[in-house]
Amino acid sequence: MTHTPDAALPANDGPDGGANASATAGDGGLHGSVAGTSDAVLGAYRRSIDNIDAAIIHMLAERFRITQAVGEYKATHELPPADPSREERQVARLRGLAAESGLDPEFSEKFLRFVIDEVIHHHLQAASDAS
């Protein structure tokens, strides 16, 4: 069974109404072409993936701006850089959200632990800078 990304398919993806998917900036024209042929469906999927990837990067940047502020706050108030009980609550919460969303909870935990490790690294650096 094939699933077409209906919401991702543009109403008009070019002068022929979608038969030739237009390339997005910086993709080298790969989004609309598969093995040398025009493929609007694959191009639409790839544009959706690109948009989601961009949103993920922007959300991570915002998350790290906030955690940097948390690290500075912790450093100036002499609080420990890590909070293992909060981390465990967050892992449990996000594993549940992942399961509800059809995402592998193991993957979500690995991803969150990677992010937490980076945040703690930043908090340790802020504590070092404050002393």
Average pLDDT, the chain: 81
Between the alpha carbon of residue 131 and those of residues 7, 76, 126, the distances in Å are 52, 9, 9
The model's pTM: 0.66
pLDDT at 56 over 60: yes
Q: What is the pLDDT of residues 7-52, one digit of tens each?
A: 544 444 443 444 343 444 444 445 545 555 579 999 999 999 999 9
Mean pLDDT calculated for residue range 121-131: 88
For residues 130 and 76, the answer to whether their CB atoms sit within 8 Å is: yes
Q: Give residue 4's pLDDT.
A: 53
Q: Give residue 127's pLDDT.
A: 86
Rounded CA-CA distance 73/69 in Å is 6
